[in-house]
Amino acid sequence: MPKHIRARDNANRAIVADDPALPHVHFNLLNLQSGEAIEQSLPRHESVYVVLSGTVDLIVDGARFAAVGQRRDIWSGEADSVYVPPGSTVRLENATGPVEIAVAGGLCDDEGLKPFRIAPNEVAMVDVGSPDTHSRRRIFHILGQNGQGRAGNLLVSELYADPGCWSGYPPHKHDADRDGETAHDELYHYRYQPGTGFGAQIIYADGQSECFMVQDRDTILVDRGYHPTVTSPGHRCYIFTILVGKTQRGLVQHFDDRHAHLMAAIPGIQSMRDKFK
């Protein structure tokens, strides 16, 4: 079943780890101050360390990626990130002021994977929707097609929705491996600008539905069903997204047949589908 995790100070401890609601996904938020250092390892998960704000050095099994992070905050440009294979030791140090890092992990048993940096100019963006259909959002693929042959089944992106707009729309799902659909677990972590913003996360399947009021820094675990999202007017919405394929890397979304007429009415839907494959 889906799960709603309210915003809290996680004190650098994992927010989602071996959770029955989403067993393939690991998620953490790390915060460092100048002079602090953190060292950790995820034995069973590949991961992407996405610098949300600030600048820090990442050392992966002795390989140094210097001065990662080139934006003031999540609203100030594309992410600078480092891919980390499962079992690698990661050390974060040389923070220049406060630094916040999102750790996106997915179960992975692939061997021989190597760490690599994903610079801001390597992040692929797709523009979806339009203001007049109240569905405009931009999706920035941090680990997407650039991970083919270099990563397991982990996909990581940042989504920016315009005020009052829907995302994950038309409603789609990806909870079964079948013709025209793949089974991918998904996690959403929300931010709003200004931080007083809020939204609604709807999840429905098999005649049942749930609706969660999501606020700044909340997290939702989506294990099944269609899952459209809407944000309040007057607030921009940011969604940090982790997808982990249970049997394959590429994501194939199944859109609710009842809303098939929206596929052509909302611009960019096919481009969005193509970017996830």
Buried b (16+ CB within 10 A) or exposed e, 206-243: eeeeeebebbbbbbbbbbbbbbbbbbbeebbbbbbbbb
Q: What is the reported pLDDT for 57?
A: 98
Q: Where are the domains of the chain?
A: 13-276
Decide if pLDDT at 53 tops 90: yes
> Could you write out the DSSP letters of every residue in 201-242?
EEEEETTEEEEEEEETT-EEEE-SSB--EEE-TT-EEEEEEE
Place of tokens 């200004």: 194
How confident is the model at residue 38, as a pLDDT? 97
For the cut 80, the answer to whether the pLDDT of residue 13 exceeds it is yes
Name 31's Cβ contacts closer than 8 Å, sequence gap at least 6.
12, 98, 99, 100, 101
The answer, yes or no, to whether residue 21 has pLDDT greater than 80, is yes
Give the global pTM.
0.97
Spatial separation of the C-alpha atoms in residues 254 and 256, rounded to whole Å: 7
- On the question of pLDDT at 277 being above 90, the answer is no
pLDDT of residue 52: 98
What mean pLDDT, rounded, does the chain reach? 97
Using one digit for the tens of pLDDT, what is the confidence trace for 176-194? Answer: 999 999 999 999 999 999 9
pLDDT at residue 1 is higher than 80: no
State in words which class domain 13-276 has. Answer: mainly beta
User: What is the per-residue pLDDT for 269?
Assistant: 95
Question: 5 pLDDT band (50/70/90 cuts)?
Answer: very high
